[in-house]
Amino acid sequence: MVGSLNMDLVIEASRFPEPGETFEGDRFYTAPGGKGANQAVAAARMAGAPGMVEMVGMVGSDAFGAHMLDVLDGYGVGRTAVRVAEGESSGVALIFIDASKENYVLPVLGANSRCGPQQVADAERFLDGAAVLLVQQEAPLDVTFAVMRSARRRGVTVVLDPAPARPSTPEGFVECADIVTPNQREAEQISGVRVGAPGDAPAAAGALRARGVPCVIVTLGAKGSYVASDEFTGFVEAFRVRPVATVAAGDAFNGGLAAGLASGLRLEGAVRLASAAAAISVTRPGAQESMPTRREAEQLLASLSA
């Protein structure tokens, strides 16, 4: 896992203030986050054993950074390659959750932006024994791209969550992944095909596959996901749950997908496992603390097939 580590600063409110207005929120709390760290925790929880997931990234030399490292230890995520940027603040993300439980995220990357050649070298130490590399777009893209290329040379399956959406990426960046997992907005941006509804997902996925991406999984929130690949193509339904917060749903999905593939599941099985992980995560507050175990996800799958 190569990616970001942020401290989430979360505000829940029935609505957001208008310009110039002061409107009182309902709840505030902090929690370790960052797309990279969230997905590392999700994968570790789904892997079921300590030491199966390694995190590569940077935190600042502040209390947030020290706390995030302790939390990774607690979840069994290897963090010997998470380095401390002296004199730099850790990344943070302001997260606003409205009455519908939808979330809006405003990150300040801090130490994450200091990632460079050292993180590429750190990641390469783990790739020879790895099954899956999971990356996002919250760390510097040149670093992420270099690690992706190195993984492909070693035959490691590369899963790219193209989030957060970027106005541009290096040439060949998306095509370097074996599996790309955009949400509707990201699928539209990187494919050039409008994705206004789930029915538009096949066209967007087809456009990305035409560019050389072997597998595209367009995540559709409560509508499930659409998978396009040589192995399996079709819609996968979401599980019906009562949401508490959707802030970590995508991270739970990607971590579950990576863990499922690494454990030997076929693509369709890994996607269904990822869907179960995402469904459970939205029934719990927070990000990393909302990630389910493999047993919990498999119990949800079993309850629907019984």
The answer as to whether 146 is a domain residue is yes
> What is the per-residue pLDDT across 101-139, written as a single tens digit (0 to 9) for each?
787 888 899 999 999 999 999 999 999 989 999 999 999
Q: Is the pLDDT of residue 306 over 60?
A: no
pLDDT tens per residue across span 167-201: 899 999 999 999 999 999 999 999 999 999 999 99
- Say what the pLDDT of residue 252 is: 97
Element (H, E) at 239: none
Q: Which of 62, 178, 200, 251 is catalytic?
A: 251
Q: Is residue 199 situated within a structural domain?
A: yes
User: In the predicted model, is pLDDT for residue 304 greater than 80?
Assistant: no
**Structural domain count, the chain:** 1
- Evaluate whether residue 1 is within a structural domain: no
pLDDT given for residue 16 in this prediction: 85
Least reliable range by pLDDT among 90-99, 114-123, 202-211, 288-297: 90-99
One-character DSSP codes across 129-189: T-SEEEE-SSS-HHHHHHHHHHHHHTTPEEEE---S--S---TTTGGG-SEE--BHHHHHH
Query: In this predicted model, what pLDDT tens digit does every residue of 53-81 receive, in sequence order?
Result: 999 999 999 999 999 999 999 999 999 99
Residue 210 has pLDDT above 80, yes or no: yes
- CATH code of the domain covering residue 92: 3.40.1190.20
Distance in angstroms (rounded) separating the CA atoms of residues 218 and 235: 9
Return the amino acid letter for 144.
Answer: T
Give the pLDDT confidence of 241-297 residue by residue, as tens digits.
988 878 789 999 999 999 999 999 999 999 999 999 999 999 998 789 999 999 999
So what's the pLDDT on residue 1? 87
Distances in whole angstroms, Cα of residue 123 to Cα of each of 109, 143, 146, 250, 252: 20, 10, 10, 23, 22
Q: Across the strands, what pairs with 60?
A: 85
Q: Dump pLDDT digits (tens) for 13-35.
A: 998 889 999 999 999 989 899 99
Mean pLDDT of all residues in the chain? 94
User: What local confidence, expressed as pLDDT, does residue 46 receive?
Assistant: 95
- Identify the domain containing residue 119 by its residue range: 6-305
Say what percent of the chain tops pLDDT 70: 99
pLDDT of residue 305: 63
What confidence score (pLDDT) does residue 149 get? 98
Whole-number pLDDT of residue 121:
97
Catalytic site residue 251? Answer: yes
What is residue 184's predicted lDDT score, i.e. its pLDDT? 95
281 assigned to some structural domain:
yes
Please provide the DSSP assignment of 54-82 as one string.
EEEEEEESSHHHHHHHHHHHHTT-EEEEE
Q: Which residue has the higher pLDDT, 200 or 50?
A: 200
Confidence of residue 95 (pLDDT cuts 50, 70, 90): confident
Tokens of 51: 């030491």
